[in-house]
Amino acid sequence: MNFESGSRNHAQFNLDGGITRGRTNLVHAAKDPVQPPQEPAIVSLLARCLCICKVGHNEYVVKSAIGTEVGIPFGAPFAQWQAVCEQLLATAMQP
């Protein structure tokens, strides 16, 4: 293609792809600082009560052996963990 003088790399007209362009979309992935509980007391409590724990939306989600899920907020005391796990175990053991 023949262009008139001054048409190449013009700000509004990029007819031949002459303008060098960088990335148009940048995606930044952040590492989530929240992990499932690592404290040995909570881990042993979950194992004893046959429960698993995962990170939910603004809370931990504790799931029993029969699929019942209960949310525990981040930073909850051990007594709350114990009450929830004992309740899930008692529910799972009922006939």
Contact 69, 63 (CB under 8 A): yes
DSSP 81: H
Helix pair 40-48, 78-93: axis angle to 10 deg: 10
Q: What local confidence, expressed as pLDDT, does residue 6 receive? A: 52
Considering only residues 19 and 80, tell me which one the structure prediction assigns the higher pLDDT. 80
Residue 14: C-alpha distances to residues 21, 23, 39, 90 (Å) = 11, 17, 59, 70
Residue at 86: amino acid letter: E
Pick the CATH number of 40-93 from 3.40.50, 3.30.920, 2.60.120, 1.10.10: 3.30.920
Q: Is the dihedral of CA 47, 49, 54, 60 positive or negative?
A: negative
pLDDT at 18 over 70: no
> How confident is the model over 21-70, as pLDDT tens digits?
566 666 666 666 788 899 999 999 999 999 999 999 889 999 999 999 99
pLDDT band at 95 (very low <50, low <70, confident <90, very high): confident
Q: What local confidence, expressed as pLDDT, does residue 41 receive? A: 95
